[in-house]
């Protein structure tokens, strides 16, 4: 974390702060306002996506063309497998929630 720039630390804090706010509001609404399981699961998916993108803040400052080049390698703050696992689980959970909502 010592080699990260201030703007990358700000992105990390903002992503995590917004993610935790989503999660806290979702849990509060689930407990006190009868939020459905589908909405709670969607909130958890958004939380995981924001935490996962916060673990790789360089993605926000990389040119769009460079991101899709074959030579691009994302630099995460933690082990890339952890970052990809958190982000992938959030995306899969969001996809499951979309299909689940479509079927109900």
* Domain segments of the chain as ranges: 6-103
**pLDDT average, residue stretch 39-65:** 92
**pLDDT average, residue stretch 16-44:** 94
| pLDDT tens figures, 61-99 | 888 888 888 888 888 888 989 999 999 999 999 999 999
Contact 44, 93 (CB under 8 A): yes
pLDDT given for residue 1 in this prediction? 57
pLDDT given for residue 48 in this prediction? 97
User: Does the structure show a pLDDT above 70 at 4?
Assistant: no
Q: What is the DSSP letter of 59?
A: G
Neighbouring C-beta atoms of residue 48, cutoff 10 Å:
22
C-alpha to C-alpha distances, 46 to 7, 17, 42, 72, nearest whole angstrom: 22, 12, 6, 25
Neighbouring C-beta atoms of residue 34, cutoff 10 Å:
7
**pLDDT average, residue stretch 17-41:** 94
**pLDDT average, residue stretch 17-37:** 94
């Amino acid at each position: 974390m010592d080699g990260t720039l201030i703007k990358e630390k700000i992105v990390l804090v903002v992503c995590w702060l917004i993610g935790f706010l989503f999660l806290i509001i979702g849990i509060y609404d689930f407990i006190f306002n009868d939020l459905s399981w589908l909405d709670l699961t969607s909130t958890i998916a958004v939380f995981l996506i924001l935490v996962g993108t916060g673990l790789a803040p360089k993605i926000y400052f990389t040119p769009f063309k460079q991101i899709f080049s074959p030579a691009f390698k994302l630099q995460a703050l933690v082990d890339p497998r952890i970052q990809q696992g958190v982000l992938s689980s959030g995306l899969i959970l969001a996809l499951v929630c979309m299909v689940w909502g479509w079927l109900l």
